[in-house]
Chains A and B, each alone.
Chain A
Amino acid sequence: MTYHADEKGYYGEFGGAFIPEMLYPNCEELRQNYLRIMAEPSFQEEFHQLLKDYVGRPTPLYFANRLSEKYNTKIYLKREDLCHTGAHKVNNTIGQILMAKKLGKHRIIAETGAGQHGVATATVCALMGIQCVVYMGEIDIARQAPNVARMKMLGAEVRPAKSGSRTLKDATNEAIRDWINNPVDTHYIIGSVVGPHPYPDMVARFQSVISEEIKSQLKEKEGRENPDYVVACVGGGSNAAGAYYHFLDNPDVGIIAVEAAGKGIHSGESAATSVLGKVGIIHGSKTLLMQTQDGQITEPYSISAGLDYPGVGPLHAHLYTSGRGEFISITDDDAMTAGLGLCQLEGIIPAIESSHALAIFEDRKFKEDDVVVVNLSGRGDKDLQNYIDYFKL
């Protein structure tokens, strides 16, 4: 039994490539080449060199002493917040920009919600001197001005997505439309483990460096490679996919996925896709998604822009329905409280996305000698205004 993608990109019943014919050649080119290119020694060498010297990997696995004391268990934080650009997103963009170069592409497009993936993409395009266009919902552009400025400083063109609800899902639609209109010279860097095959698998593989490092670091600190639990927040699910990757097929490691409940799962303002979603097609992938009875995709809500996606990667849909993963939903309020808690106990200001993962310890109890690794996917600088407004700082 494996929880990894099969060769057609399916995780159980989820995944695949539900794409119009216009996208078929692009996705097929990628599908036929991605594993071969990733296996090339020269690719691996350049990828790992950049992760080390440019991104700052390996990121620390930090034993959170005071947090562990408070919750009476052993909590380690995987410090993805210390990556260049402030989050795990850059692991994937480094991998994909190298992939794009190998495929001979001269132009990069990306979608972004809050702007983290857009910044990570603009960063690697600057690094490689490749033209970069980032699609961002008109509403997100207005509420994420600092990240828009960062992308511009890095030389990217930020194009507003003006259709539909003018947020992340619409930015993704616009990026896909751009790819349809530019099928030959352009590579689309998707920011999460979503989209048509091979994206979910490819992005998970680039992010899998997270769990690869957890294994060796834990061996050093605890004398064993496998934690009892790995905890990560899930929007589309890329940081979670990376944190789980090398533990997926090991039943001794518990997998905990934390979704955004927003103002409450059944409040009508939530992004808890596993609970509220039904099987359907979004952005070329068969997965769980929030939709009307008629199959129209609905707009999710979370205080955290990075968790504000109406679908979830097909890997996570499979982890949920198969029971391999334990899914927990955390409200805005509980996430914000947990975020502030980490600041005061450990001196680390987390991204609000990551704060959702930290919030589970209030209700989900662990044994005293359990080793629980929480993937701290990003830092909170980008969320300062939200923290200021919420806590009236």
Chain B
Amino acid sequence: MNRIKQKLQEDNPPAGRAGKLLSIYFTAGYPRLNDTVKIIQDLEQSGVDFIEVGLPFSDPLADGPTIQESSTAALKNGMHTELLFEQLKDIRKTVSIPLILMGYFNPVLQYGVEEFCQKCQEIGIDGLILPDLPLDVYQEEYKSTFEKYGLINIFLITPQTSEERIKAIDAASEGFIYMVSSASTTGSKEGFGAEQTEYFNRIANMNLNNPQIVGFGISNAQTFQQATEKTKGAIIGSAFIKHLTQNGVDHISDFVNQIR
């Protein structure tokens, strides 16, 4: 069974976590080109539930300055798709939690969607998040390929997504729904207000088939707690990148432990 589905269905979460999942995003090739494997291993050992490995892109439209700068640095360090696959080829010998690749569609298109998916399966990648691959194009052109290689495609919703579209996305999803917390790029807003509470409640009341995991705007224990009150878990990206920038890769568990 796909590790994402398995993780979401675990009946007995470790004590004290109330079943709330923590996912961490980082940009592959940052801070240094060959940090990828160590970061993944340390995150797992720190008790993280999912990892989103970012494939850097020259023009990351949906990202704020922190992830933009990490992408630029990673590309400058020499990161590219084939190299990332090379770095990850033995990852399943040491890491067992779900791994998701997150990136923009163009590098995947250039690699070849089928070849990319095949490589993901060989390595043991469980899912993809490609924010600029739209729902209709995915369903018409790529769904069968993703399924052939056992990959779950994760879709995003935002506070502006219509109810009708949320239902369509729910129907097309088979892992979790990535719930963008506010109308923003990554890392650009801090803390949640009444608008988010309304949004979290509204989605919770829709009783969707897929669990929701919240991303954007989560940076510490407080925002993690707020984001997961009505949802299955939360994703941290920019705050973790900032931690890596300031502390390097030797104190990853310090960051994770302060979240929950």
Which residues of A are at the interface with B, using a C-beta cutoff of 8 A? 16-22, 24-25, 163-164, 169-170, 173, 176-177, 180-184, 278-284, 291, 293-298
Please state if B107 and A181 are interface contacts (CB–CB under 8 Å).
no
Tell me which residues across on chain B come within 8 A of A291, comparing CB atoms: 106, 110
A-side contacts of B163, CB under 8 Å: none
**Total contacts A-B at CB 8 Å:** 117
**B106 in contact with A280 (CB, 8 Å):** yes
Q: Taking the nearest CB of chain B, how far is it from the CB of A374, in angstroms?
A: 33
Q: Report the bound CA distance from A294 to B85 in whole Å.
A: 13
Interface residues of B, Cβ cutoff 8 Å to A: 57-65, 68-69, 72, 75, 80-82, 104-111, 131-134, 137, 155-158, 160-162, 165, 180, 183-185, 188
Please determine whether B185 and A181 come into contact, CB atoms closer than 8 angstroms: yes
Given A295-B81, A296-B75, also A22-B57 (CB < 8 A): no
By a CB distance below 8 angstroms, the chain A residues around B111 are: 294-295
Given A173-B61, A280-B106, A281-B109; A21-B131 close (CB under 8 Å): yes
Q: Chain A residues near B131 (CB, 8 Å)?
A: 20-22
Q: How far is the CA of A291 from the CA of B64 in the complex (A)?
A: 22
Q: List the A side residues contacting B137 at CB < 8 Å.
A: 16, 18
In the complex, the chain B residue whose C-beta lies closest to that of A294 is: B80
Q: Give complex CA distance A144, B254 in Å.
A: 48
Question: Do the beta carbons of A297 and B165 come within 8 Å of each other?
Answer: no
A residues within 8 A CB of B75? 296
10 tightest CB-CB pairs across the interface, nearest first? A295-B110, A295-B107, A20-B131, A21-B156, A296-B58, A25-B160, A294-B80, A20-B62, A281-B106, A295-B106
Q: Which residues of the partner chain B approach A163 to less than 8 Å between Cβ atoms?
A: 65, 68-69, 72
What CA separation (Å) do A24 and B164 show in the bound complex?
A: 13
A283 to B105, CA, bound (A): 11
- Tell me the nearest residue of chain A to B160, going by C-beta: A25
CA distance A295 to B133 in the complex (A): 15
**B107, closest chain A residue (CB):** A295
CB distance from A104 to the nearest CB of B (A): 15
Which residue of B82, B132, B161 contacts A281 across the interface (Cβ within 8 Å)?
A: B132
* CA of A17 to CA of B82, assembled, Å: 27
Task: Judge whether B64 and A177 touch: CB under 8 Å.
Answer: yes
Specify which of B61, B106, B158, B160 is in contact with A176 (CB 8 Å cutoff).
B61
Question: For residue B80, which residues in chain A have a CB less than 8 angstroms away from its CB?
Answer: 294, 296
The CA-CA distance from A146 to B151 in the complex, in Å, is 52
With known contacts A18-B134, A21-B156, A294-B81, A182–B183 Cβ distance under 8 A: yes
Distance (whole angstroms) from the CB of B89 to the closest CB of chain A: 18
A-B contact pairs, 21 of them (CB 8 A): A16-B134, A18-B132, A21-B156, A22-B180, A24-B158, A25-B160, A164-B59, A164-B72, A173-B61, A180-B62, A181-B183, A278-B110, A279-B109, A281-B104, A281-B105, A284-B132, A294-B80, A294-B81, A295-B57, A295-B108, A298-B58
B69: A residues at CB distance < 8 A: 163
Cβ of B72: which chain A residues have Cβ within 8 Å of it?
163-164
Cβ of A170: which chain B residues have Cβ within 8 Å of it? 59
Q: Which A residue sits closest to B169, measured CB to CB?
A: A21
Known contacts A18-B133, A164-B59; A25 and B162 CB within 8 A of each other: yes
Residue of B82, B107, B180, B188 touching A21 (CB-CB under 8 A): B180
Contact residues in B for A284 (Cβ distance below 8 Å): 61, 132
Instruction: Collect the chain B residues with CB atoms within 8 Å of residue A279's CB.
Output: 109
In the bound complex, residues from chain B placing their C-beta under 8 Å from that of A17 are 134
New A-B contacts (8) at CB < 8 Å, excluding given A183-B160, A281-B109: A16-B134, A19-B61, A24-B158, A25-B162, A173-B59, A180-B184, A281-B132, A297-B106
Complex Cα distance A177/B158, Å?
Answer: 15
Q: Once bound together, how far apart are the Cα atoms of A19 and B4, in whole Å?
A: 25
Residues of A within 8 A of B109 (CB): 279-281, 295
Contact residues in A for B157 (Cβ distance below 8 Å): 21
The contact of A177 among B61, B81, B155, by CB within 8 Å, is B61
Considering the complex, give the chain A residue whose CB is closest to the CB of B157.
A21
Cα distance A91–B41 in the bound complex, in angstroms: 56
Q: Which one of A24, A184, A281 lies within 8 Å of B165 (CB-CB)?
A: A24
Partner of A294, one of B107, B160, B161, B162: B107
Tell me if A282 and B132 are in contact (CB < 8 A): no
A176 to B68, CA, bound (A): 14
A102 to chain B, nearest CB (A): 20
For residue A189, give the distance in angstroms from its CB to the closest CB of chain B.
17
Complexed CA–CA distance, A191 and B258 (Å): 46
Q: Is the pair A282, B106 in contact by a Cβ cutoff of 8 Å?
A: yes
Taking a contact as CB atoms closer than 8 A, the residue among A25, A180, A297 that contacts B161 in the complex is A25
Query: Are B61's CB and A294's CB within 8 A?
Result: no
What residues of B have a CB within 8 angstroms of the CB of A18 in the complex? 105, 132-134, 137
Contact residues in B for A180 (Cβ distance below 8 Å): 61-62, 183-185
CA distance A21 to B129 in the complex (A): 12
| Cα–Cα distance between A24 and B134 once the two chains are bound (Å) | 9
**Which residues of chain A are within 8 angstroms of B158 by Cβ–Cβ distance?**
21-22, 24-25, 183
Q: Is the CB of A22 within 8 A of B156?
A: yes
| Residue among B106, B132, B188 making CB contact with A181, cutoff 8 Å | B188
Residue in chain A with minimal CB distance to B65: A163
Set A16, A24, A176, A297: member contacting B58, Cβ < 8 A: A297
Name the contact of A19 in the complex, choosing from B81, B107, B134, B183 (C-beta under 8 A).
B134
* Complex: chain A residue closest to B62, CB-CB: A20
